Amino acid sequence: MIIVSVRMFRGMNRLLLLGFCLALASCAAPGVQRKDTSRTFNTVVVDAGHGGKDRGAYRRPGPAEKMAALDVAQRLNRKLRESRFRTVMVRNADVFVPLDRRVAIGNRIDNSIFVSVHFNYSPRRAIRGFEVYYASPYARGLALGIQRKLMTLSGARNRGVHTAGFRVIKNSVYPSVLVECGYLTNPVERGYASREAYREALADKIAEAIVEARYGPGIYNAPPRVPVQEQPGGVIPPP
């Protein structure tokens, strides 16, 4: 959930808002030189949204966004390590981390990508579905890949892949995406988010998309390859 947009834009008309959002999304912040590590990255910075005094989206009965996001981020972290990536967790506990500090952590790490995990909020209970945001054109492929994998979950609704000026993606040097894993204000998706198996599946899909973005399809969770022993002359000797 990104609160700032609601507070900032109250009172602006829709057209003005759209123009403003597009302008924000299309340019990096001054001094940010974006780099394309989308095909080379060896480190994933995993950012669990919110934390501490900032609980994010919340509707009873169900998890607060800060806790659900942390849980998915921890699972994602584990899966990425199993896939031989280096990882950095922006937070690994229920603590508050300012947005600029999150960006700074990501920007310090060479040859990385940045993945921010969130759940969403809407005043309209019926709204549900996955959204993935990016700002750098170098992150577009990853954003599309994550959305595509999330859409393979049963019951998934597609709310699209979008550019946006959210600070953690806009000010990132390296390709950066923000994944909205469903609406905690929707009873169905709040129910999903409450289930450990579902949060594990979310992490699994995001991890799979990251591995595919780097190494191509068919690698994630593939059984370990056993080297094939060459037989002289191609003839298999009798036992």
Nearer to Zn ion, 93 or 219 (CB): 93
CB of 231 to Zn ion, least distance (A): 57
Nearer to Zn ion, 49 or 51 (CB): 49
Nearer to Zn ion, 49 or 106 (CB): 49
CA distance 28 to 49: 21
CA distance 159 to 52: 28
CB of 108 to Zn ion, least distance (A): 23
What 212-216 contacts at long range (C-beta under 8 Å, 24+ apart), as own/partner pairs, is 212/145, 212/149, 213/38, 213/141, 213/142, 213/145, 214/39, 214/41, 214/85
Exposed / middle / buried, residue 175 (Cβ in 10 Å: 0-12, 13-18, 19+): buried
CB of 218 to Zn ion, least distance (A): 32
- List interacting residues with Zn ion (CB under 5 A): 1, 49, 56, 118
CB of 69 to Zn ion, least distance (A): 7
* CB neighbourhood size of 95 (10 A): 13
Nearer to Zn ion, 44 or 181 (CB): 181
- Please name which of 117, 131, 123 lies closest in space to residue 159, comparing C-alpha atoms: 131
Nearer to Zn ion, 37 or 172 (CB): 172
CB of 2 to Zn ion, least distance (A): 6
Length of the chain: 239
